[in-house]
Chains A and B, each alone.
Chain A
Amino acid sequence: MIKQITVISGKGGTGKTTLTAAFATLACNALIADCDVDAANLHLILDPVLTDRLDFYGMKVAAIDRDKCCACGLCREGCRFGAITEGFVIDIHACEGCGVCELVCPEGAIVMKDHKAGEIYRSITRFGPFVHARLGIGEDTGGKLVSMVRKNAMEMAKMHGNELIIIDGPPGIGCSVIASISGVDLVFIVTEPSVSAIHDLERVIEVADHFRIKAVVCINRYDVNAEKTAHIEEYCRKKGVDVAGKLPLSDVPTKAMLEGRTVIEYKDDVFAGRVQDIWYRVHKELI
């Protein structure tokens, strides 16, 4: 059985990708998948060698044949997403691809066309195989692309005989997050002691709960606010969620990033040691 762990945070910028990259260094025989398709960053550290590139088609979008269009306006009336302008032009950012306009058009002037919404990349890195993706600007099929990344990751993991898939998840609690945690064995939540991060942590724990997925928490930059850190620990205890570890405020993650390395590869044994301890606890949860 291939195990899967997703690293999420609710709030962005808490150190999710830094920790995913560190876990990639520490895990043996893992595949890494970047499901933060909206702002993928992991490749900047993993330095992948591309082996395969796949087009991702999202929802189709409507296209109006000007020659057939009689400007009756029925499509515009029928479209609930305001995607058809006064001049009968489709706003491709607003179009959700529902096909209602095609259904109501009496002239058969509207067809639903394939629409490339992003790309998926398969590659090899110094830590093992890696799948990442790029969602086109303004697309709304993030959830679907995340599912495709995970499907590719699963196929590749089987091919390479990997035992673990480490997933870097997106921020938030919406469709991309739901798609990146569904069916995984463990959700690893990176938070920090600030009012915003705590608020988002609570929402994200609820999402994990909602889908009945076990979660553990890591408190990053715990020393910025001792009181809030205590609050998080207390909250997690009440919720029955383990705190897998705490990391201090440090310039190591940024320095390592500037060198294109993970914090484990960077020459700072103290910080790396702390991350290692967290990884051992997480690893225990997984097996």
Chain B
Amino acid sequence: MKIAVASGKGGTGKTTVAVNMAVSLGNAQLLDCDVEEPNCNLFLGHPLQKVRDVGIQIPSISRDKCNSCRKCAEACRFNALAVLPTGIMLFPQLCHGCGACSLVCPQDAISETTHVIGTVERSASSARRVELYQGVLNIGEPMASPVIRALKQYIDDSRTVILDSPPGTSCPVISSITGTDYCILVTEPTPFGLHDLLLAVELVKELQIPYGVIINRHGTGDDSVEGYCYENNIPVLMKIPYDRRITELYSEGIPFVLQMPHWKDQFLNLFIKLQVLTGRY
């Protein structure tokens, strides 16, 4: 079963839920899809090894063959090519690697090279029961989705896979949660939390992924999130109370189930609930 953990708003506790669930289950694959800010391993502390670079194919223009006809720059819809008196110039950060330029070049002056935008890493030792994979987007690179897609190729369908999605509702979130069996939306019980939860709900509905809500820092704020869930028949899967101890363990990078073992049972329960909800139990 593939379980995505997402949220509209950042900082609601996605990583907390993903890591604690993986640690509680023991035998699971954990994919950190928040490639702009991968944080899961801060809680696991696994030694990591790189499994691959992620690149996109960008044009490389032969100065000898190019006669500055500008056709490539006109074809590029991302404004990645500029015609200068000295020839064509590429802005690699704008290039999406679509290949339109090489298709239209009448001089056959464009070949392609790989431009590395990030990497995929995994736990170095397979002896660990929680097997972590993470994508890392290089600093200054704007496009997260290719890294997420590369990362998801390492999903092992025979195992329980937990995917920690980036925040928001834009393209990288779609790349992360498509193809999963269930999506947990983590929120906090505040007006901001509710507002962003509504956006996240819209997204999972559109993708037709079954979903439920975990309310984090329960006890702060108000009960508008819970009210909304009940009114709309959205299962509230778990409430994690606001507890200074949990905040402190989080700040240290310790999965709280390790110090508060009764929570481990709660996460195992949660997993069973998800199996029931997806008709696997």
Among A78, A139, A176, contact of B103 (Cβ-Cβ < 8 Å): A78
Cβ distance B239 to chain A, nearest Cβ, rounded Å: 16
The docked-state distance in angstroms from the alpha carbon of A177 to that of B15 is: 21
User: By the criterion CB–CB under 8 Å, are B99 and A99 in contact?
Assistant: no
Residue B98 is within 8 A (CB to CB) of chain A in the complex: yes
Cβ distance B208 to chain A, nearest Cβ, rounded Å: 12
User: By the criterion CB–CB under 8 Å, are B140 and A207 in contact?
Assistant: yes
User: By the criterion CB–CB under 8 Å, are A11 and B103 in contact?
Assistant: no
Q: Which residues of B contact A139 (CB under 8 A)?
A: 170-171
Among B57, B77, B144, contact of A174 (Cβ-Cβ < 8 Å): B144
Nearest A-chain residue to B8, judged by Cβ: A39
User: By the criterion CB–CB under 8 Å, are A14 and B251 in contact?
Assistant: no
Residue A142 is within 8 A (CB to CB) of chain B in the complex: yes
User: By the criterion CB–CB under 8 Å, are B170 and A173 in contact?
Assistant: no
Tell me which of A11, A38, A80 has the highest count of chain B C-beta atoms within 10 A of its own C-beta: A38
The docked-state distance in angstroms from the alpha carbon of A142 to that of B172 is: 11
| Interface CB pairs A-B, < 8 A, 28 | A12-B11, A38-B8, A38-B170, A41-B9, A78-B99, A78-B103, A80-B98, A99-B100, A100-B99, A103-B103, A104-B103, A137-B169, A137-B199, A138-B169, A139-B170, A171-B10, A172-B36, A173-B36, A174-B137, A178-B142, A192-B251, A194-B250, A194-B252, A195-B253, A199-B39, A203-B139, A225-B251, A254-B220
Cβ distance A264 to chain B, nearest Cβ, rounded Å: 18
**0 or 1 for each of B225-254: is its CB under 8 Å from A? (1 = yes):** 000000000000000000010011011110
User: By the criterion CB–CB under 8 Å, are B139 and A80 in contact?
Assistant: no
User: By the criterion CB–CB under 8 Å, are A175 and B251 in contact?
Assistant: no
Residue A257 is within 8 A (CB to CB) of chain B in the complex: yes
Residue A10 is within 8 A (CB to CB) of chain B in the complex: yes
The docked-state distance in angstroms from the alpha carbon of A216 to that of B143 is: 26
Residue B265 is within 8 A (CB to CB) of chain A in the complex: no
Contacts A13-B10, A175-B143, A258-B191: A38 and B169 contacting too (C-beta < 8 A)?
yes
14 A-B pairs besides A39-B9, A225-B252 with CB distance below 8 A are A39-B169, A78-B99, A99-B98, A100-B98, A138-B203, A140-B145, A171-B10, A171-B168, A174-B141, A178-B142, A195-B42, A203-B36, A211-B140, A258-B190
Residue A206 is within 8 A (CB to CB) of chain B in the complex: yes
Among B98, B145, B167, contact of A12 (Cβ-Cβ < 8 Å): B167
Within 1-35 of A, Cβ neighbours of B (below 8 Å) are at 9-14, 17
Q: Which residues of B contact A170 (CB under 8 A)?
A: 168
Cβ distance B138 to chain A, nearest Cβ, rounded Å: 10
The docked-state distance in angstroms from the alpha carbon of A249 to that of B192 is: 18
Contacts A12-B10, A143-B142, A210-B139: A41 and B192 contacting too (C-beta < 8 A)?
yes
Residue B66 is within 8 A (CB to CB) of chain A in the complex: no
Tell me which of A80, A177, A193 has the highest count of chain B C-beta atoms within 10 A of its own C-beta: A80
Q: Which residues of A contact B170 (CB under 8 A)?
A: 38, 135, 138-140, 142, 176
Binding site for B on A (CB under 8 A): 9-14, 17, 38-39, 41, 44, 59-60, 78, 80-81, 93, 96-100, 103-104, 135, 137-140, 142-143, 170-178, 192-196, 199-200, 203, 206-207, 210-211, 221, 224-225, 228, 249, 251, 254, 257-258, 260
Among A14, A93, A98, A228, contact of B98 (Cβ-Cβ < 8 Å): A98
Contacts A137-B202, A138-B174: A17 and B137 contacting too (C-beta < 8 A)?
no
Among A104, A203, A258, contact of B37 (Cβ-Cβ < 8 Å): A203
Binding site for A on B (CB under 8 A): 8-12, 15, 36-37, 39, 42-43, 57, 75, 77-78, 96-100, 103-104, 137, 139-145, 166-174, 188, 190-192, 195-196, 199, 202-203, 206-207, 220-222, 244, 247-248, 250-253
Nearest A-chain residue to B100, judged by Cβ: A100
Contacts A13-B11, A99-B77: A93 and B174 contacting too (C-beta < 8 A)?
yes
Contacts A173-B139, A207-B139, A207-B140: A257 and B174 contacting too (C-beta < 8 A)?
no
Q: Which residues of B contact A137 (CB under 8 A)?
A: 169, 199, 202-203, 206
Q: Which residues of B contact A44 (CB under 8 A)?
A: 191-192, 195
Nearest A-chain residue to B42, judged by Cβ: A195
User: By the criterion CB–CB under 8 Å, are B171 and A97 in contact?
Assistant: no
The docked-state distance in angstroms from the alpha carbon of A11 to that of B104 is: 42
The docked-state distance in angstroms from the alpha carbon of A141 to that of B137 is: 18
The docked-state distance in angstroms from the alpha carbon of A63 to that of B36 is: 31
Nearest A-chain residue to B149, judged by Cβ: A82
Q: Which residues of A contact B190 (CB under 8 A)?
A: 254, 257-258
Contacts A98-B100, A103-B75, A257-B192: A39 and B10 contacting too (C-beta < 8 A)?
yes
Q: Which residues of A contact B206 (CB under 8 A)?
A: 137-138
Contacts A12-B11, A99-B75, A224-B248: A80 and B97 contacting too (C-beta < 8 A)?
yes
